[in-house]
Structure 1
Amino acid sequence: MYGADRRAIARELAAAHGGVVHRLALAEHGIDRFAVRNEVAAGRWFKVGRHTVAIHSPELNETARWWRAVWESGSGARLDGVSALEASGMTGYHASVIDVTVPKSSHTHAVERVRLHLPRVPAPVVGAGIRKVAPDIATIHAAQWAATDRQAALVICMPLQQRLTTPSRLQLAWHGVQRSARRKLLDGVIGDVADGAHSLGELDFTRMARRVGLPPPSHQSLRDGPDSRVYLDVSWDDVGLVVEIDGGHHALALNPIDDALRQNDRVTAGERVLRVPVIGLRLLPQKFMQQVRHTYDVLRAEASRPRMR
């Protein structure tokens, strides 16, 4: 085979993998290890692993790094966690390492910027293309492997917001987890994104209010709107303060429009409205509740001032 022919074949094979190709794929097309060695020696191709050859440049893009991670880590390797979510199309979040699961029985190899996980039975591979686990399972794993609780909550929300999985699938995947260092947090966050503000019980919020010195609020107070009657999540009617607790579903579809109309109706009726994301109450309860307490104090002070005639 002429050099120009094998280079054309290699380019075609590498096109589906971000510019890299597996040595076995080259061999299946008549390009043996001696031909690879000659191309590498000539500076046209680059060895970037035991099995992986870069056809254009040793500087790999994200897609090429995913393929190299799977090819080089060990038999049965698959993308997992945030890496599997990114490979499934998630945007707006990028991990500094590539998460790969490999069966515990496999012989593994360390790969630069790859974090290996060795479960006895890895989650099954789904979809076409690069080997990866399903988005619902990858989401649960990403949350457990996250560096902080804030990151854990973020990677729970983003796949749902981007329609990579559904609340019911996420809950089902979570129910299959037997042990987790973040059990309490993820129980709450997954409930929040699946059930909205209803997952934060009325007694929970009342306890939070009591801790910052607030009197017990009213829950699900009824108001007359321009077009219909609406229920408010939390309110202190004596000072005209309303707190709307936004579940994870509030960022989806037309919900922000409905929320804005609902909030504006209350403001034009003379009430003060604070919006609080329910996951924010999970992660930073003290900060949000201090804002509520400060607003309550301001409104109470305004209500106690004598009115000018």
Structure 2
Amino acid sequence: MRPAERRAMVARELGGRHDGVVRRQDLYDLGLTYDQVQAEIDAGRWHLVGRRSVSLVGPVLDAKAQRRVATWEVGAGAVLDGVTSLVEAGLTSWQESVIHVSVAKGTRVRPRPGVRIHHQRRMGRTLGTEPPRTAPEVATLRAAAWAVSDRQALTVLAMPVQQGLVSPQRLLEEWETTQRHRRRALLQEAVPLVCDGAQALSELDFARACRRHGLPAPSRQEVRHTAQGRIYLDVYFEDYGVHAELNGAHHYLKLAPVADARRRNDRALEGDISLEIPALGLLLDEAAFMEQVKRALWQRGWRPRSA
């Protein structure tokens, strides 16, 4: 077989399978010899992008090909993990400068530029995709652990649920079996909020926050009859016409924001001041949200006893 025919065969059999990158072993399995592969590399038609990996399309790899090559090059059993696994699964609106790869503890690894290797005592559930990756519930909790700040951790915890990449039930079950976590105290509060929605942030919790900030306790949960039917207002200060909705992650899924907007508009048309308080936002920045509640109450005539 002439070199041009051989290259055409490789492109046909392997080129489209792995985003233009192939393992050397795949080329050998196809019948090529070491010398034939090396001749293509030396001629600049193919490009060596790792000890085991060859690019058929150029020396610069796109993000997807880089993730694939990382699992080939790092070590035996390497899988994409953390936010990299989530991006591979379809997470949008997220940028990450490094590729996160996990291997079982004790695995011999080869460092690679732009790749952060994590050694796991417990790998957790993995998926036999190409490239292989951890299951979304595992990846989500690890992404939160590896985030650079608590704010980023809560963001990456909520986004996979909001985008439908992981079910709340699977995430909650995985958290309940997680023995070690860098941000255990934070996630002990945050995971139930993400998985169970506003139910995890009870009226009692909000009432405690009101006391901490010197605000009156909410009057009660209100039942109202609207064009949407019977609805329950999470928090209502009856004496002042101030309403607050404690929104968990499920409020940002699919058409839920539409229903929430109608509810807020109904309250505005009734003359109430209506506030939206994301449950994770209250956890991360309680003072700022309670200051907004205070301002709303102040506008409606409330004054602290010392005033």
Aligned counterpart, 1:140:
141
Per-residue CA distance 1:62-93 (angstroms, 9 max, x = gap): 11101110010001111111111111222221
Preserved CA contact (<8 Å) 2:203 2:234 = no
Q: Which moved more, 1:78-87 or 1:29-38?
A: 29-38
Q: How many Å separate the matches in 2 of 1:120 and 1:256?
A: 40
Q: Aligned-pair distance for 1:141?
A: 1.2
Map 1:69-84 → 2, pairs under 5 A: 69-84=70-85
Aligned counterpart, 2:3:
3
Q: What is the RMSD computed on CA atoms of the aligned residues?
A: 1.7
Alignment gaps of 5+ in structure 1 = 303-309
Q: How many Å separate the matches in 2 of 1:100 and 1:119?
A: 10
Q: Aligned-pair distance for 1:230?
A: 2.5
- State whether structure 2 residue 214 is matched by structure 1 residue 213: yes
Q: Which moved more, 1:18-27 or 1:197-206?
A: 197-206
Q: Aligned-pair distance for 1:121?
A: 3.6
Partner secondary structure for residue 102 of structure 1: strand
- State whether structure 2 residue 166 is matched by structure 1 residue 193: no
Q: How many Å separate the matches in 1 of 2:60 and 2:234?
A: 53
Aligned counterpart, 1:305:
none
Residue type at the aligned position of 2:293: V
Q: How many Å separate the matches in 1 of 2:291 and 2:122?
A: 46
Q: Aligned-pair distance for 1:191?
A: 0.7
Aligned counterpart, 1:99:
100
Q: Structure 1's 43 and 297: CA in aligned 2 closer, same or farther, altered over 3 A? A: same
Q: Aligned-pair distance for 1:276?
A: 1.1
Aligned counterpart, 1:164:
165
Aligned counterpart, 2:154:
153
Aligned counterpart, 1:43:
44
Partner secondary structure for residue 5 of structure 1: helix
Q: How many Å separate the matches in 1 of 2:243 and 2:82?
A: 38
Alignment gaps of 5+ in structure 2 = none
Q: Aligned-pair distance for 1:14?
A: 2.9
Partner secondary structure for residue 16 of structure 1: coil
Q: Structure 1's 254 and 5: CA in aligned 2 closer, same or farther, altered over 3 A? A: same
Q: Aligned-pair distance for 1:120?
A: 2.7
Q: Aligned-pair distance for 1:226?
A: 4.2
Q: How many Å separate the matches in 1 of 2:249 and 2:140?
A: 15
- State whether structure 2 residue 117 is matched by structure 1 residue 112: no
Residue type at the aligned position of 1:16: R
Q: Structure 1's 219 and 65: CA in aligned 2 closer, same or farther, altered over 3 A? A: farther
Partner secondary structure for residue 10 of structure 1: helix
Q: How many Å separate the matches in 1 of 2:228 and 2:163?
A: 31
Partner secondary structure for residue 294 of structure 1: helix
Q: Structure 1's 127 and 164: CA in aligned 2 closer, same or farther, altered over 3 A? A: farther
Alignment TM-score, normalising by the size of structure 1:
0.92
Q: Aligned-pair distance for 1:247?
A: 1.0
Q: How many Å separate the matches in 2 of 1:283 and 1:93?
A: 20
Preserved CA contact (<8 Å) 2:220 2:237 = no
Preserved CA contact (<8 Å) 1:17 1:63 = no
Q: Structure 1's 11 and 219: CA in aligned 2 closer, same or farther, altered over 3 A? A: farther
- State whether structure 2 residue 177 is matched by structure 1 residue 176: yes
Per-residue CA distance 1:216-247 (angstroms, 9 max, x = gap): 11231233434533221112122111111111
Percent identity between matched residues is 42
Q: Aligned-pair distance for 1:136?
A: 1.4
Q: Aligned-pair distance for 1:129?
A: 2.1
Preserved CA contact (<8 Å) 2:240 2:302 = no
Alignment TM-score, normalising by the size of structure 2:
0.93
Partner secondary structure for residue 126 of structure 2: coil
Partner secondary structure for residue 234 of structure 1: strand
Per-residue CA distance 1:117-166 (angstroms, 9 max, x = gap): 11134234314321111111111111111111122112222222222221
Q: Structure 1's 21 and 227: CA in aligned 2 closer, same or farther, altered over 3 A? A: closer
Map 1:113-132 → 2, pairs under 5 A: 113-132=114-133
Q: How many Å separate the matches in 2 of 1:227 and 1:107?
A: 60
Aligned counterpart, 1:280:
281
Q: How many Å separate the matches in 2 of 1:15 and 1:219?
A: 61
Aligned counterpart, 1:265:
266
Preserved CA contact (<8 Å) 2:127 2:135 = yes
Q: Aligned-pair distance for 1:256?
A: 1.5
Q: Structure 1's 6 and 259: CA in aligned 2 closer, same or farther, altered over 3 A? A: same
